[in-house]
Amino acid sequence: MVIHFLVTGRVQGVGFRWFVHREAQELELKGWVRNTDEGAVEVLAAGDAEDLAELKESLERGPRGARVDRVIEQKLADNEGAGLSSFQIEGAV
């Protein structure tokens, strides 16, 4: 199963991408997380439905210092996850 999440609120500059990376790796998900130019955080994750549901709960909670206003979830076709490898943070220096 492949899901795209868009997380809005105070989610940049608070360690959100690192938080997502850690959670996703613990769940052994594949995919990536990155900031958007609009101030949100975008996540593409592939794995078991149960693990993805657990990731969504983590996204709704966020790390300390974050304020999550909304998590928009969009299920994608399974082939969208074909080229994904271990979970990565895109745009991190």
How many CB atoms within 10 Å of residue 55? 23
Q: What is the pLDDT of residues 33-66, one digit of tens each?
A: 999 999 999 999 999 999 999 999 999 999 999 9
Domains defined along the chain, listed by start = 2-77 (3.30.70.100)
Q: What pLDDT shows up at residue 91?
A: 82
- Is the pLDDT assigned to residue 93 strictly greater than 90? no
Q: Where are the alpha helices (DSSP H) in the chain?
A: 16-26, 49-61
Lowest-pLDDT choice from 25-34, 60-69, 75-84: 75-84
Q: What are phi and psi of 51, to 5 degrees?
A: -70, -40
Write the CB contacts of 13 (distance below 8 Å, at least 6 apart in sequence): none
Catalytic residues: 17, 35
